Amino acid sequence: MNKYCVIKCYDEKHLPSSDSNFPNISDKYLYGVCLPIISEAENITVVRWGEQTLTVNSKFIVPIPTPKYQVGTLVKFIRLGELRFGRIAEIHWHWKNQSHLYDVIEKGKRLKKRYFEENLVVINK
């Protein structure tokens, strides 16, 4: 089972990228995003964000439980009183509730609303 974390810092200098194609990383895009841990060393944690790998000072890493669903999972949910279908695009951490929130793509568009685990059901193909 993969380990997951969120990065908790407010300064871009603490988020160096190990991928030269990603020069302008900003914590405002990463705040609260659930990231799988690739490797851990003494003071460094390597995480994956989409296709990128990021090397982060371990003091800014907060471990969290593994999400029930993964990015790319097909799900069904109720939106505006109607049964809808979509794919998980990104997973966030809700600090106050200590739970996962899911961004869903429906018909090629990312929905503004985020869903909790209990509001989603996996579609088995």
pTM above 0.85, yes or no: no
In the chain, the amino acid numbered 125 is K
Task: Say yes or no to pLDDT of 104 above 60.
Answer: yes
Specify the pLDDT at position 29: 65
Task: List Cα–Cα distances, 56 to 34, 60, 114, in angstroms.
Answer: 14, 7, 26
Specify the pLDDT at position 26: 52
Q: Give the number of C-alpha atoms closer than 13 A to the C-alpha of residue 98, restricted to the C-beta side.
A: 4
Question: What number is the average pLDDT over the span 91-96?
Answer: 94
Rounded to the nearest integer, the mean pLDDT of the chain is 85
> For 20-73, what is each residue's pLDDT tens digit?
443 345 555 677 899 999 999 988 999 998 888 888 888 888 999 999 999 999
How many residues can be counted in the chain? 125
Please, are residues 6 and 93 in contact by the beta-carbon 8 Å criterion? Answer: yes
